[in-house]
Structure 1
Amino acid sequence: MKSNFLPLSDLKVGESGVIVKMDIKGKARQRFLAMGLIKGETVTVKRMAPLGDPVDFIVKGYHLSLRKSEAREILVERE
């Protein structure tokens, strides 16, 4: 059976995913958790910068910009 999990950075504009895992440690992890990036939360890609980095996401109704390198460490299940 094929997994539907992928890095958050792989979603396209308009696509959404539910967070299933974060491979982030230390203070960065605490910062992400404080911003609402928690397991089970839905994240939607709103827009990308002209060169593709950073990416603007919607989490819990607010906008959050992340570098692609950060978004790559968050595993989501596509909705």
Structure 2
Amino acid sequence: MSRFYFHCYGLGDVLEDIEGAVLADEAAARARAIVSLRDMMAGDVIKGLLDTRLAIEIIDERGRPVARIGCDEALRIMS
């Protein structure tokens, strides 16, 4: 188990996660980031807005970047 931090980027703001979450591995951290990003996008869509620059950067407990999850990875757009 490792601690991961999820920093949120979007709408010109950076929201740093200072608490983090203890998860099994990087795959679990990626899955959590995707769900969180989808939740953020859903809240914006209700307001009539979708900024596709939203992203979550995953940082491990040593301060190293693990991944950056963007809208393109969290959402499939069909038209």
TM more than 0.5: no
Select the structure of larger CA radius of gyration.
Answer: 2
Q: Structure 2 length normalisation: TM-score?
A: 0.26
Q: Hey, which of these two has a bigger chunk of helix by percent?
A: 2
Q: Structure 1 length normalisation: TM-score?
A: 0.26
Higher relative contact order (CA 8 A, sep 6+): 1
Q: Hey, which of these two has a bigger chunk of strand by percent?
A: 1
